[in-house]
Structure 1
């Protein structure tokens, strides 16, 4: 069996870390799958999906770490006029941060529940907001 659900978020900040664990857990319950896998994936190239502990201080550390790796003031090639788009590309840092974080997370489903560590949460990571964003939860199994 395959069950799929789309979720839409309205992000508020340029870089934002949103815990979506409860949304994923609800989709798993609604799927009726007892044993299998769940995948959470972003539909955007400047947003990511990852897992980590949900602590404000850790979110801040992750944000600072990514900003050090991908500084805003670097002369990126993508920060220029793009004829195909008819506008200036001003989001190279969003693409690079999303590439580092990744765009998906996988979990096992056992007895109808996501198998995850006690402190492990699912995050949707915005790197080019504010914006309307979509992620998909797909549950496969029996």
Structure 2
């Protein structure tokens, strides 16, 4: 069996970390799958999906870490006029941060629940907001 649901929402910050664990858990419950897999996938190249502990201090540490690795003031090749878009690309840091976080996560579903650690939460990461964003949740199993 395959069950899928999408979620669209507006982000409010340039860099933003939104907890989506409860939405994923609700899709697993709604699917009726007791054993299988759940995949969460972002539909955007300047967003990420990642898993970590949900602490504000850790969120700020993650954000500061990514900003040190991918500084805004670097002379990126992507920050130039793009004829295909008809405008200047101003989001190279978003693409690179998304590369580091990844755009998806997978979890086992066992006995109708996501198999994850007690402190493990799933984040949707915005790196080029504010914007309208969509992520997909697909549950496969029996």
Measured against the shorter chain, the TM-score band is over 0.9
User: Counterparts of 2:14 and 2:5 in 1: how far apart (Å)?
Assistant: 25
Partner of 1:115: 115
Runs of 4 or more above 3 Å deviation: none
CA deviation vs aligned residue, 1:84-135 (integer Å, no higher than 9, x gap): 1001100000000000000000000001110100000000000000000000
Unaligned runs of at least 5 residues, structure 1: none
Q: Is residue 66 of structure 1 aligned with residue 66 of structure 2?
A: yes
| 2:124 partner SS | strand
Partner of 1:83: 83
| 1:108 partner SS | strand
TM-score computed with the length of structure 1 as normaliser: 0.99
Shift of 1:9: 1.7
Partner of 1:30: 30
Q: Is residue 95 of structure 1 aligned with residue 95 of structure 2?
A: yes
TM-score computed with the length of structure 2 as normaliser: 0.99
| 2:79 partner SS | coil
Q: Root-mean-square deviation (CA), in Å?
A: 0.4
Aligned residue-pair number: 142
| 2:84 partner SS | coil
Shift of 1:27: 0.4
